[in-house]
Chain A
Amino acid sequence: MSGADPPPGTATNPPAASRLIVDARGSWCPGPLMELVRVIREEPVGTEFELLSSDEGSRKDVPMWLEKAGHRLVEFRSDSGFDRYVVQKTHE
C-alpha cells in the first residue's frame, strides 16, 4: 500500500480504458467489499476497478480477499475521507 499520498485528484496511474468506478462510500450494508466482489464476478478478465470506500475495515478486508481470490491490487491511495483501491480481475 502507498503511504505517501498525492493530493486528491492527482493521477499517479492513468486509468485503464476499461476501468470501472465502484463508489461504495457510505456503503455500510452490505459493505464495500461485497460491491467489489459483485462487480468482479460480472466483468471480464482484465477489467480494472477503482473501489472508493469510506470503511476503514476495507483496508484489511480488500487485500485479504484479493489474495485469497487471486486478483491483483494495482494501487491504493488514501484521499480525504475515503480510500481508493485499484484492482484488476486476473481470472474467471
Chain B
Amino acid sequence: MAKRVVVVGGGIGGTTVANRIRRALDAEVASGQVSIQLVDREGVHAYQPGYLMVVFEKMRPEETQRDESQLLHRSVQLVRAEVEKVDAAANKLLLKGGKELGYDLLVLSSGSVLHPELTPGFAEGAHSFYDLGNAKKLRAALHGFTGGRIVVSVAGMPYKCPVAPLEVTFMLDDFLRGRGIRDKCEIHYTYPIPKVFGIDTVAQPMTRLMGERGISIHVPFNVDKIDPAAKTIKAVEGDTLPYDLLIAIPAHRGADFVGASGLGDKGNWIPTDRYSLKAEGKENIFVLGDATNIPISKAGSTADYEAEVVTQNVASMVRGETPTARYEGRVYCWIMTGLSQATYIKFDYLHPPHPPTPSFAHYWNKTIYNRTYWDLTARALF
C-alpha cells in the first residue's frame, strides 16, 4: 500500500510543500509507492500580499486569485473538502459531510482566520485590507476621500504580515500626496507596543520616515473597542482617537478544526517544534505557516522557507530515514515605504534584520515577485 502524505491547506505553505514533496519523491510517486493529497475547502488559492496592492491600484483583484488545481503538479490530488477534525490517534481526517481521509504523514498548513467580531465595533467602524472584498471597499473609500483624519491600527495579535501596518501607512501618505490632498489629511499610526515596530533595527528607521512624512505616532495602543457612531477608537491604555477613516488589522485565530481536534492553544495555533516543525508530541504531523505557534512572522516567506524543511523531513521519513532538516527561522519580507519604493527585512533566529535604505530597486524586486509568484513560487520551481 502506498504511503499516504496528506497536506491540509491550499495557501502558499500547503501548495508549495505539496509540490516540493512531489518533486523530492518523484520516483516514489511515479511508481505508486507514495500518494500526495492536498485538502482545501474552496480550491482557490489567494495571493494575500496582493490585497494591499489592490487597495492602491498596483494589482487588479483577479490577479490575486487562481484555481488551486492549476498550481498543483498533476500527481498531487486536490481534495475539495472542509476538515472538521484531525483524529491523530487513528491517523485520519474527518471531513465535513462524513467522509474520512487516512494518512501516514500529515502536513498542516491551515493558515489563520480573520475574526473582526472579536473587537467591538470593528465590522461597522473599520476598513481593512486583509481579504479581497474589504480591500476593494477600502480602495473605493480612498477614491472618494477628500480630506480628514485617518487612523491606522492593529486590533489583535498575532496578525499575519507584521509589516503591513507600516506599509499601508507609507503607501497612504504617498497616495494622498499624489492626489494633492495630503495637506488636508492627518495620518495617525498606532501600535500595541511602545514603538512603531517590534525591534529597534526596524523601528528606528521607520520612526524616522514617519517623522519626515508628518505621520503622528501613538504608542503603545492596544485596541479596546471602536465606536462607529462617534467615529472613535479606544485603547486599553486609556487613549481615545477620533477618526474620519479607520484602517485596522482584524484579530486572527488558527483554524477551527485545530481547536476541535485538541491540537491547538487558546488561539487555535498549533504548538510546534521551532526546528523540526513537528507538532509537539506528534511524530507524523508537521506544521507550517500561520498555523504554528512559533513566535515569528506569520508571512508567506516564512511558510515558503518552512516548506523546504518539511519537504526534506517528510521525504526522509517516507524513506525510513531520520528527519534531520531544521528550520532556522528564515524570513524575508519587503516593506513598501511608498507607492514606488521599498526596503526589506531578512533574518533568522540568530540574526536580526537590518533594512537597507528604501529604494525603487527594492520596490521593483517586490513587483517582480508579485508578477512571478504564480509561475515560480506557488509551483515551487525555485
Interface string of A1-44 (1 = CB under 8 A from B): 00000000000000000000011111111111111011001110
Using Cβ atoms and an 8 Å threshold, which residues of chain A touch B329?
26
Q: Given A31-B193, A42-B267, A64-B194, A26–B157 Cβ distance below 8 Å?
A: no
Query: A23 contacts which chain B residues (CB < 8 A)?
Result: 274, 295
Residues of A near B347 (CB, < 8 A) are 28-29
Q: Which residues of A contact B296 (CB under 8 A)?
A: 26-29
A55 to B198, CA, bound (A): 10
Q: Does chain A have a CB within 8 A of B297?
A: yes
CB–CB B198/A29 < 8 A: yes
Question: Measured between alpha carbons, how far is A24 from B193 in the docked complex, in Å?
Answer: 15
Question: What number of A residues sit within 8 Å (CB to CB) of B?
Answer: 27
Cα of A18 to Cα of B357 in the assembled complex, Å? 45
B89 beta carbon closer than 8 Å to chain A: no
Contact A29 B157 (CB under 8 A): no
Task: Report the bound CA distance from A56 to B329 in whole Å.
Answer: 18
Given A35-B295, A37-B157, A65-B220, do A29 and B194 touch, yes or no (CB 8 Å)? no
Q: Report the bound CA distance from A12 to B237 in whole Å.
A: 32
Interface size class of B (residues with CB under 8 A): 35 or more
Q: How far is the CB of B238 from chain A (nearest CB, A)?
A: 9
Q: Is B163 an interface residue (CB 8 A)?
A: yes
A30 to B191, CA, bound (A): 11
Q: Is A74 part of the contact surface with B, judged by Cβ < 8 Å?
A: no
- Taking the complex as formed, is B345 at the interface, i.e. its CB lies under 8 A from any CB of chain A? yes
Q: Does A75 contact B (CB under 8 A)?
A: no
Bound complex: CA of A43 vs CA of B266, how far in Å?
A: 9
State whether A29 and B333 are in contact (beta carbons under 8 Å apart), knowing that A37-B193, A41-B222, A68-B220 are contacts in the complex: yes
Question: How many contacts A-B (CB < 8 Å)?
Answer: 92
Report chain A residues within 8 Å CB of B202. Answer: 28-29
| B381 proximal to A (CB < 8 A) | no
A92 to chain B, nearest CB (A): 9
Tell whether, in the assembled complex, residue A26 and residue B350 are in contact, meaning their CB atoms are under 8 Å apart.
Answer: yes
Q: Which positions 285-342 of chain B face chain A at CB distance < 8 Å?
A: 295-297, 329, 331, 333
- CB within 8 A of A55: which of B157, B162, B199, B345? B199
Q: Say whether A38 contacts B157, CB under 8 Å.
A: yes
A32, B236: Cα distance in complex, Å: 20
A32: chain B residues within 8 A (beta carbon):
198, 295
What distance in Å separates the Cβ of B309 from its nearest Cβ neighbour in chain A?
15
B104 close to A (CB within 8 Å): no
B352 on interface, CB distance cutoff 8 Å: yes
Q: Nearest residue in A to B202 (C-beta to C-beta)?
A: A29
Task: Give per-residue flags for A42-84: 1 if the beta carbon is below 8 A from chain B beta carbons, else 0.
Answer: 1100000000000111000100110011000000000000000
Among B222, B295, B345, point to the contact of A27 (Cβ < 8 A): B295
Q: What separation, in Å, do the CA atoms of A29 and B349 have in the docked complex?
A: 10
Which residues of chain A are near B158, meaning CB under 8 Å? 30, 34-35, 38
Are A34 and B237 touching (Cβ within 8 A)? no
Q: Assess whether A34 is in contact with B236, with CB atoms less than 8 Å apart.
A: no
B197 contacts the other chain (CB 8 A) = yes
Specify which chain A residues have a CB less than 8 angstroms from the CB of B333 in the assembled complex: 29
Q: Which B residues touch A33, using CB under 8 A?
A: 193-194, 198
18 more A-B residue pairs beyond the given contacts A26-B348, A28-B347, with a C-beta to C-beta distance below 8 A: A28-B201, A28-B353, A29-B331, A29-B333, A29-B353, A30-B158, A31-B193, A33-B193, A33-B194, A34-B198, A35-B295, A41-B157, A42-B266, A43-B266, A57-B203, A64-B194, A68-B237, A69-B222
Q: A residues touching B (Cβ–Cβ < 8 Å)?
A: 22-35, 37-38, 41-43, 55-57, 61, 64-65, 68-69
CB-defined A-B contacts under 8 Å, sample of 9? A26-B296, A29-B199, A29-B296, A30-B197, A30-B198, A30-B297, A35-B158, A37-B220, A65-B193
